[in-house]
Amino acid sequence: MHQLPARGTDVRHIVNRTSRSPITVGSVIRVPEPDYCYGRGELTLRIDEVGAIERHDGEPWIGLRGVQLRSDGAPVGERLALVRIAALNSQPRSSAALKERQL
C-alpha cells in the first residue's frame, strides 16, 4: 500500500504513476457519478489544476479543478471535483479526440 503525501503536496507525478492514463493539465476525463463528489450523472472535465490526494472511506481521492464539458464538448463552466483515483485508472489512454473537438 502506498503512503499518501502530506496535504497540499504536488501529486501530479503520483497520479501519473498510478494511472494508466496521465492526468495532466489539459487532459479530459469522464467520471461516473459514484466516483466523484458531488454531482449527478457522468462528469466530463478538462483539467486545469491537479490538487492534493485525500483519503475518504479508506480510498485515495484527488482534488481536480477544471472546466466541465457537455457531451458535445461545449464548456459548461468551471468545476471543482473530488475524484476517486481508482476511477482514473479506467480512463482511456488518450482523450485526444475529445480535445480536438474542443479546439
pLDDT tens-digit profile of 52-70?
999 988 999 999 999 999 9
Please tell me the total count of domains within the chain: 1
**Rounded to whole angstroms, how far apart are CA atoms 82 and 53?**
9
Residue 1 domain-assigned (yes or no): no
Is residue 5 in a domain? Answer: no
**Is position 72 within any domain?**
yes
The pLDDT, as a whole number, for residue 45 is 97
Residue 82 counted as domain residue: yes
Q: In what order do the strands lie in the sheet with 59-69?
A: 28-31, 43-56, 59-69, 75-84, 36-37
Q: According to the per-residue pLDDT averaged within each range, which of 1-5, 84-88, 95-99 is highest?
A: 84-88
| Residue 85: inside a domain | yes
**What is this structure's pTM?**
0.68
- pLDDT classification of 29: cutoffs 50, 70, 90: very high
The pLDDT score that the predictor gives to residue 2 is 42
Tell me, yes or no, whether 3 lies in a domain: no
Residue 7 lies in a domain: no
* Domain limits for position 58: 12-102
